[in-house]
Structure 1
């Protein structure tokens, strides 16, 4: 085949295991033969509306088979897939669409209003809706029905761009990490080697597919291996437990908050979990109490550390080491190399703290249309600078100890303070602002805005938080506001975040309900 990218996977799987079940969603199942036919029809339909090689095709919606169909159809055409976070507001979506230059937006009915507004602002040529045509949009099933079934084999090279996954940065503006087909393939190979997935795998995907972990650490490796993927539209702890029992799920990924919610359900102790072989956890360190709760049911976590720019797997802790290396993120994935580097550029020794650098065939090719930022994030020899700090023990196991960047993780979602601070500063009464992450029993961390009001200005916590609704996704909005007279600054005027944390992050934030 001329297509050496992941767009060829449905074709290859259909000729190898056509009658195996590929995808299950809402009590419907598709074999690899049926899945391949739908991908092929969608690719022809996208061609019919003018999609050509290199075009960007965006997708907005919860977990659904059409997400995967769009990804693979884009790969068949040599186009680039752009998954969008369905928790973003219309202005945030418009920025991602405009920055990527997406020409087509496929979206679920739940996101119709935001999709329409964002697409109009970004100048997207075609909107395609999953529930049928709307004013100014095409219907997804109609596009498939009109698509042909002739074989497609566009020349796609391993180093061609496969997807653009947006990840916010400390500048406050999202950056599009460009993952090549080779990046995605090698990450999948790492997962297959280190997680030992089988062709009989039944993988539950309850984490959002627009996240690199939900897509690249669970779903795609399973499809590559020829297992079946069970898609839940969204995470629901009770539904997850029922699905594990009823469909004999063998593998799933989640963040600690998800696993804690499952263990808190009344039916936790009675659900049959005997089919589970692998529980992968990431997004934040797994608390000791969570590890103990699952070990009591005979279940051990495979833990890991990664980032979007690495497709995302970097470090991996096998489940056999869950107790012996509690708190560790593990060792590098099989085809991955890491270094812990001191500020002077020398490698850190055991016990020393150093920035994590990563190298491997799964590391992104760069940031979309951002050559200067791409150059800045790669150290000498092509090592990707993660901005995270870790120490290693004498066995080489890494422990994440700090973040060189200000980013914090809330319920598995990365929150970047600069973006939030920019929104808070748009309040007319706010003169200065610093956003930090503070401990929270449910979400791990939540945001706290430390605010200085302008001279003679008046504002309170509810008013400032209300100002942010519609400007930021809900998970980015701080859960508390502290008013203060001044913020600690360096001699050059830069806010000293470490001093802000020391003064204002000592106690947990009030229990938020998102």
Structure 2
């Protein structure tokens, strides 16, 4: 499926030339023209000014054109976090190509599927992924290009500067700019198609929903292959003219050091990241005073974790987003960070929400149902997958698959995933509700709740935990009884060394099958 065949809502913003600022990354280029000497990106010992960033974007655009990349072609980038991802992304956009970032956690088989699914024109690799890139199934016949010069390999690589940059492509609002692959719940990943118009309005939503200022220093250490890191903070910070501190991966101790070293003011974190930072020796004395706020997402934020960071004067702003929404849907206000820990905040200004029952009828405030999302920032659909597109994008609304409600203040509160609902004895159970309580039990460091097949109850509530050996099922049940209905109490306890999570900390429930008969289980 190409951009012309992707189902798109009528944005009313099309036309042969779109409008100024529409092209994905154009606002970064315009920012660079206005403040070329300010620092745009810090990566290790490297500092890139906005002027240098613009030169490198233009040079990369010329390079890709010389390599045969044309408007509508797909460029896949397989790399850890580094500035060249953003450079290649904006260069692709400048010449009308469609960009797909793929993180290093993706195995070569997944990369091979993505290349085939997109009919990719080129594959970009880093020195860290070049060997894996060459092992990607089906890569034969697809040019492999390097993000930087590799001395012992004769691979074409992105230049830092070229005279006479490639001419700028002017997209329509509905033409594809970015395809981001999501893990999904089963089978192959799905490519979420985000148009130039959707990404422009996601930027508007984000800048109106978050207090991002021109002097912000934003730490990005979750993969740029995920739209939360890419579009919510990195891109928005560059739009405002701030500085992005880019790290290849999250390390709790190094993160605390970087906050102090660079006077970081904003960052994105999932709950596990904040928990690990709090467990670093010396956390109590760590200097986090520069932080104005931390944007939380990827998983529900435990209230006690919000309270811990609030005690340090750092609000954790829970947000709700979806790759299919670009991702911005709602943001919590800083003043509500500690007071309304269950809230994901008010919907972004360009976003409409509905909470619907199983039959599709609207539910009043306070009642739990599926969350539907609408707005100009919503994806066009899934690349080449009309069936999945029809199932998720319904009459202008994105069916999120998440369950939640709107509270009396108009805030969105997420209670769980529709697809993760456990049905035990005819009762529906949201696992997230139980998980929030299980992780509060002493000795449990991480937890997931799943349904295991049971001949009597259909499914039996099972807690899968990372814990100390002292945790006993009966004691955990006693701890939970005051807080949960009887049918929600776990009846099985499984222990693991760790839980499967995505690179941004999202729990991968589908991988929580019993691993062997030797798995420690209590009933």
Normalised by the length of structure 1, the TM-score is 0.79
Matched, 1:345 2:360: yes
Q: Is the 8 A contact 2:127 2:150 kept in 1?
A: no
Taking structure 1 as reference, are residues 400 and 506 closer, same or farther at Cα in structure 2, changes over 3 Å only?
farther
Which among 100, 104, 121 is matched to residue 138 of structure 2? 121
Match of 2:81 among 60, 63, 67: 63
Distance 1:101 1:3, change over 3 A: farther
Q: State the match for 1:400 in structure 2.
A: 414
How many angstroms does 1:92 deviate by? 1.4
Aligned to 2:427: none
Structure 2's unaligned 5+ residue stretches are: 1-18, 423-434, 456-464, 468-486, 501-523
Any residues of structure 2 matched to 1:254-403 within 5 Å, and which? 254-380=269-395, 382-403=396-417
Q: Is structure 2 residue 33 aligned with structure 1 residue 15? A: yes
* 1:453-491 deviations in Å (ceiling 9; x for gaps): xxxxxxxxxxxxxxxxxxxxxxxxx999xxxxxxxxxxx
Cα distance in 1 between the residues matched to 2:159 and 2:33: 21
Task: Work out the CA distance in 2 between the residues paired with 1:239 and 1:58.
Answer: 29
Question: TM-score under structure 2 normalisation?
Answer: 0.77
The 1:439–1:77 alpha-carbon spacing in structure 2 relative to 1, beyond 3 Å, is farther
Q: 2:201 aligns with which of 167, 171, 186?
A: 186
**Runs of at least 5 residues in structure 1 that lack an aligned partner in the other structure:** 409-435, 453-477, 481-500
Offset from partner CA, 1:34-78 (integer Å, 9 cap, x none):
000011111101111100001111111111001100110001110
Q: Could you tell me how far 1:289 is from its partner in structure 2?
A: 1.9
Figure out how many residues of one structure are paired with residues of the other and give that number: 439
Q: Deviations over 1:312-368 (max 9, x none)?
A: 111221121122212122221121110001122211112211110000111001111
RMSD of equivalent CA atoms: 3.0
Which structure is higher in helix share? Answer: 1
**Equivalent-residue separation in structure 2 for 1:124 and 1:349 (angstroms):** 55
Conserved 8 A contact 2:22-2:200: no
State the distance in 1 between where 2:36 and 2:420 align: 48
1:498 equivalent in structure 2? none
Paired position in structure 2 for 1:487: none
SS at match of 2:144: strand
Return the alpha-carbon distance in structure 1 between the equivalents of residues 156 and 55 of structure 2: 18
Q: Check whether the contact 1:128–1:137 (CA below 8 A) recurs between aligned residues.
A: no
Counterpart CA distance in 2 for 1:367 and 1:137 is 36
Match of 1:417 in 2: none
Q: 1:106 to 1:397 in 2, by over 3 A?
A: same
Task: After TM superposition, give the deviation of residue 512 of structure 1 in Å.
Answer: 2.0
Counterpart position of 1:445: 448
Deviation at 1:406, TM superposition (A): 3.4
Q: What is aligned with 2:265? A: 250
Q: Pairwise mapping of residues 201-216 of structure 1 onto structure 2 (< 5 A)?
A: 201-216=216-231
